[in-house]
Chains A and B, each alone.
Chain A
Amino acid sequence: MKFASPLESHVLFAIGPVPISQPVATTWGIMAFLTIGSWLLTRRLALRPTRAQAALELVVETVAGQIRETMEAEPQRYLPLIGTLFLFLLVANWSSLIPGVEPPTATLETDAALALIVFGATLWFGVRALGPRAYLATFARPSILLAPLNIVELFTRSFSLMVRLFGNVMSGVFMIGVVLSLAGLLVPIPLMALEMLTGAVQAYIFGALAMVFIGSAISENGARPPSKQESPA
Chain B
Amino acid sequence: MRIDWWTLALQAVNVLILVWLLGRFLFRPVMDAIAARQASAQALLDEAREAKDRAQAEAQALKTQNDGFVADAAARRAEIRTEAEAERQRLLAQARLEADAVVEQGHAAIDAERGRVAAQWREKAANLAASMAGTLLARLPPEQTVQAMVDALKARLGDLSEADRRSLAAAGPVTVATPAPLTADLQTQVARALAEILPDTATPIFAVDPDLIAGAELRTPHAVVRNSWRADLDAMVESLNEDDHARIA
Contacts and interface: CB of A to CB of B under 8 A. Distances in A.
A178 interface: no
A32 B34 CA distance: 25
Q: What secondary structure prevails in chain A residues at the interface with B?
A: helix
A90 to B, nearest CB: 12
Contacts of A20: 10
A70 interface: no
A81 interface: yes
Interface in B205-235: none
Contact of A80 (B1, B7, B14, B27): B27
A34 B21 contact: yes
A113 B4 CA distance: 11
Contacts of A28: 14
Contact of B10 (A18, A53, A76, A88): A18
A18 B22 contact: no
Given A35-B21, A84-B22, 15 more contacts: A19-B4, A20-B10, A23-B7, A27-B10, A28-B14, A34-B21, A39-B25, A41-B26, A42-B25, A53-B33, A60-B30, A79-B31, A80-B22, A84-B15, A84-B19
B121 interface: no
B21 to A, nearest CB: 5
Given A60-B31, A108-B3, A38 B25 contact: yes
B37 interface: yes
Interface string B28-43: 1111111011001000
B34 A57 contact: yes
B18 interface: yes
Nearest to B1: A7
Interface in A52-72: 53, 56-57, 60-61, 64
A24 B30 CA distance: 28
A49 B23 CA distance: 20
B38 to A, nearest CB: 10
A117 B4 contact: no
Interface of A: 7-9, 18-21, 23-24, 27-28, 30-31, 34-35, 38-39, 41-42, 45-47, 49, 53, 56-57, 60-61, 64, 76, 79-81, 83-85, 87-88, 104, 107-110, 112-114, 116-117
Contacts of A80: 19-20, 22-23, 27-28
A34 B27 CA distance: 12
Contacts of B25: 35, 38-39, 42
Interface residues of B, number: 35
Contacts of A41: 26
Contacts of A35: 18, 21-22, 25
Contacts of A107: 7
Contacts of B10: 18, 20-21, 24, 27
B118 to A, nearest CB: 114
A-B interface, 7 closest residue pairs, ranked by CB to CB distance from nearest: A80-B23, A38-B26, A113-B11, A113-B12, A109-B7, A42-B29, A109-B8
B2 interface: yes
B17 interface: yes
A35 B15 CA distance: 12
Interface string B225-247: 00000000000000000000000
B137 to A, nearest CB: 141
A47 B37 CA distance: 6
Nearest to A6: B1
A30 B18 CA distance: 9
A110 B6 CA distance: 11
A64 B31 contact: yes
B16 interface: yes
Nearest to A40: B25
Given A31-B18, A34-B21, A117-B16, A109 B4 contact: yes
A53 B3 CA distance: 41
A31 B14 contact: yes
Given A60-B31, A108-B3, A27 B11 contact: yes
A214 B240 CA distance: 142
Contacts of A87: 22
Contacts of A112: 3, 8
Given A60-B30, A117-B12, A117-B15, A18 B6 contact: yes
Nearest to A59: B30
Given A104-B11, A112-B8, A117-B16, A83 B22 contact: yes
Contacts of B36: 47
